Structure 1
């Protein structure tokens, strides 16, 4: 049986819970539109603004916490947040709705207080003093006593507080993620100083706004996984150790749970003899190690931006959106101009940065981002700068001891750098292995094709992937209709095939040549008109970016080549563009396999057809799996 007040009344509403703000919004709109005295609804407006500011505080702290390129050397808990924790904290803002409801009820039930709210001065120094006194003498000791009591009462901890502590890695969103009962208590803790200052007749708007926002600011600070305070501050002013906690201080509470119970002031832990003896020593240790690389990744996936809208899919922008496959969210369009300006700034000044990370069998795997977007790779004057960034990333990886660096999408474009060949030839003594991962991409596509298929139609047939697919299939006795206008490129590929299989490669120049072929392998964008040549029942296998439109209802469409990471992956909390959770592009997976196998060769330039089956078997051995239902 569920414990009383351990769940939220609107738990099953999903995102419809925000309708609960509706009455407040309606009151403000109605008052402004139809009433002469709009001050009657000012208290509703104040509540809405404060709720918005509280949400903004959490979001800004989340942005800072997830900026690994800024915070990586100051992280307290080195582990990464996973999808499970993000889902667990998805409705972290329930408490804001609760506070809005309680504030509304108080104002409605107390007309004098409502009138007082509408006539509060902007500032009152006495109100600030009263609020500080009430916070120190009431809120801090009450929270400390209740918090410690809950931890020492098995029933209350198991049925209530364990929900908050089930987040393994503290995060600003963890601060608000608690049960209904706990947040009701927190409303009392945070509300008494505010109401008290108003009842004493010394309240002010600045005090109400400031305390409401600062209360959440401090809770986010404590749950941030980044140590922001310098140890020198506490050495210079030792008394601050009694007045303000640090992220390290509160993280120890989450790790050991038997110490550091205070709200914001460690003084009460000192008085209650519950302060962790390592609190300040650990804080100093973390700060002293700032700037030092704590661990070298074994594998790096060198990615790049796709477009301006998808940039908002980054975990340091909206972590909840980043945990879902990318899709265009039109309500984010107002942020497009700002994001575009950020993109221009990155173009001018930014360097390759740490984007995300996960751990696989004790191997640290990181994604680094080249600060360039898709369209920039096709600007002739930008190619040299992009290659310089990629080269710099490879040399950095080589210097710090990375084993494998895998190039994503356009970072390995043949026209840009020959699929990575440029860097390997320029730096023949690289210790880091440069990998384009396309061998596994080819393997994924080829293993989707049924064994009984005797003929396929291949577009993009003379590309790196197209060549490998054609040569592999012809060896299997499959007739490959290679769409290309270049006789020279076709014959070059045909001559690479064993003599006895060369006749299985057939050059075609028009789409109507495939009007009886039901297996299309698409490496070049197809218009709806070009798709119309495919017979009913055709399946479109794809390695074209972006994927073709699903125009034909009587045909089926495959997804881009991708693989699901093994189940024992840890700290993965970001979806790779449009991929499902736990799924990465095949070229990413190819780099992971290269690292796990400990292969010493570079995988650049043309795909070695003889290694396709070898790479596929290695991927299967390590627990990677294809996401296609067609895979053999």
Structure 2
């Protein structure tokens, strides 16, 4: 049974909880439109403060997830997984609560509130004294009481359920806890107002500063240099650090303070490892962290998908990507960032996860999909990819896998360019297309006797055609190049060559209801497919789902094993825990310990071998229709 005040009154409202700001918005709008001046300006101030508080948490979240900046200063090396993200989804409930409480206070003290000046230096002195003498000890003892058996079990354990601290974790607590926290933050403000020393700047500064410190303490990145405490030792008792607060979540009987460790020292609850661990993390920040065993070298598809990264909006990155209206206003800013990335032109660490104790990372080449089709951009893109491979080689990475366009045949021969140029590479370069081909051929029903294949002479098209003809499946290969078709046909055994048929028009497939699309086709070209056709595809970007009487497969993908740890973002349009087959192919290469490079043409003989290895390691096929 849920205890009183353990859940939020608007817990079941979902996104409609923001309607609770409605009265404040209505008051501001009506006053603006129908009155000569803006009366009850406190309504506007509350809304602005709420917006700024959300921004403070968002900026801290972005910084916390910028792994390319923070990876060597992380306190816990694990990542935030989907379960924690879902638990903390409504982290901003406390902002709504405190907005409502602030509205009640302003209504009761309207005469005092209206007289508050913009600036009053006396208010800051009053605020500081009340905070240190009342709010800090009040929070300390309230926090300790919440760690008593009954209160912890029914109220405070929710806050401690987050295994990896994140700025949003500070807001992830029960209704009762945030009522108490509202009293803690409200006492200094009320004291200043009642004494007549308050000012608008003081209120803004205290509330935003309070949130800033809470976010800093719940960050998984240490930001306070140890040199500060070494030179000024007394400061370690006046301001806590992310490391200091993280110890409270690992050793719950210590470090209860709000912001000042002085009170833990006074009442003998200060963790004796606090300064040593803080010094160790900050000292080690200049050193290289753990070397990943596997790297997936990705790229951005377009400007909209560039916002589908954890350091932009964590919750959005945790669900499959699709273009959403709320992203449109961010487009110009993202475009500017894109230009800056072009100027910077360095790969950076985007995400990571652990599998069987191995660290797997995703690095990103700062190039967008359309650039790969610009002839003059080819050399620059290959240079970036080459630098990433050499960087991985220097670090001791075992396998680096190239994402879709990073291994484009016309660009670098499926990675062959880099292997030939650097024959002494220790890191294994993998395009992962062998598993991609395996996924596609295993999606095709066993009773299918004929398929229509576009992109038939590409790396994947060639491998799929040869594999299917071996299994006595007739393959209609769409290509205008007789020479390239015949070259592939000669690779087939003499008794299966007749299963490969060259076609040059789409109408040749008007009676074939299994299409394998490796080259983008227009809605008009899709009309040649008979009703009930299923479109398998390995084309980037995916084709449009235009036909209502047909079904469309997703890009070849595999579900990661269940023991993956720290994964909290979706890979482009893939579901949670699902990665593109070329990504999974690189992981298999690393787990199996294979020592060859997988570049250039696909070895058809290895398709079944790679598929069986994937299943052995717990990967599962993802075959979805839409």
TM-score (ref. length: structure 1): 0.98
* 1:279-298 alignment runs, 5 A limit: 279-298=274-293
- 1:147-158 correspondence to structure 2 within 5 Å: 147-151=143-147, 153-158=148-153
CA distance in 2 between partners of 1:48 and 1:598 (Å): 57
Aligned to 1:533: 528
| 1:407 equivalent among 379, 397, 402 | 402
Give the SS at the match of 2:367: coil
Q: In structure 2, what is the equivalent of residue 8 of structure 1? A: 8
Provide the rounded CA distance (Å) in 2 between the counterparts of 1:23 and 1:344: 42
1:320 to partner: Cα distance? 0.8
Match of 2:35 in 1: 35
- Deviation (angstroms), 1:377: 1.2
Partner SS for 2:349: strand
Cα offsets for 1:555-576 (capped at 9, x unmatched): 1111110000000000000100
| Deviation (angstroms), 1:119 | 2.8
Distance 2:624 2:60 in 1: 41
- Partner SS, residue 308 of structure 1: coil
Matched, 1:461 2:443: no
In structure 1, C-alpha distance between the alignment counterparts of 2:585 and 2:299, rounded to whole Å: 17
What SS class does the counterpart of residue 530 from structure 2 fall into? coil
Cα separation, 2, equivalents of 1:359 and 1:137: 45
Unaligned runs of 5+ in 2: none
Identify the match of residue 201 of structure 1 among 196, 200, 207. 196
Q: How does 1:320-335 map to 2 (within 5 A)?
A: 320-335=315-330
> Is contact 2:557–2:581 with CA below 8 Å preserved after alignment?
yes
Please give the per-residue CA displacement for 1:209-246, whole angstroms capped at 9, x wherever unaligned: 00010000000010011111111100111110110000
Aligned position for 1:337: 332
Residue of structure 1 equivalent to 2:609 = 614
Q: How does 1:556-571 map to 2 (within 5 A)?
A: 556-571=551-566
Aligned alpha-carbon RMSD (Å) = 0.9
1:412: how far off? 0.3
The Cα shift of 1:291 comes to 2.2
The within-5 A match list for 1:121-520 is 121-151=117-147, 153-520=148-515
For 1:239, what is the secondary structure of its paired residue? Answer: helix
Q: Which moved more, 1:554-563 or 1:577-586?
A: 554-563
Do the aligned partners of 2:345 and 2:384 also contact (CA within 8 Å) in 1? no
4+ aligned runs moved over 6 Å, structure 1: none
Q: Distance in 2 between matches of 1:281 and 1:350?
A: 38
The alignment status of 1:25 with 2:21, answered yes or no, reads no
Question: Could you tell me how far apart the structure 2 residues matched to 1:327 and 1:617 are?
Answer: 32
Instruction: Report the secondary structure of 2:495's partner residue.
Output: helix
Partner Cα distance (2:410, 2:190) in 1? 67
Q: Secondary structure at the match of 2:477?
A: strand
Query: Equivalent residue of 1:207, what SS?
Result: helix
Deviation at 1:290, TM superposition (A): 1.0
* Equivalent-residue separation in structure 2 for 1:332 and 1:462 (angstroms): 38
Q: Distance in 1 between matches of 2:323 and 2:102?
A: 36
The structural deviation recorded for 1:629 is 5.4
How many aligned positions are there?
Answer: 625
Q: Matched residues in 2 for 1:51 and 1:190: separation? A: 14
User: TM-score w.r.t. structure 2 length?
Assistant: 0.99
Q: Does 1:522 align with 2:517?
A: yes
SS of the residue corresponding to residue 512 of structure 2 reads coil
Aligned equivalent of 2:115 = 119
1:105 and 1:459 map into 2 onto residues whose CA distance is 66
Secondary structure of the structure 2 residue equivalent to 1:499: coil
- Compute the displacement of 1:350 (Å): 3.4
Structure 2: how far apart are the matches of 1:587 and 1:253?
41
> Which is further off, 114-123 or 137-146?
114-123
The separation in 2 between residues aligned to 1:515 and 1:385, in whole angstroms, is 42
In 1, Cα distance between the equivalents of 2:366 and 2:527? 39
Distance 2:305 2:518 in 1: 23
Asked whether the 8 Å contact 2:553–2:624 carries over to 1, the reply is no
Counterpart for residue 94 of structure 1: 93
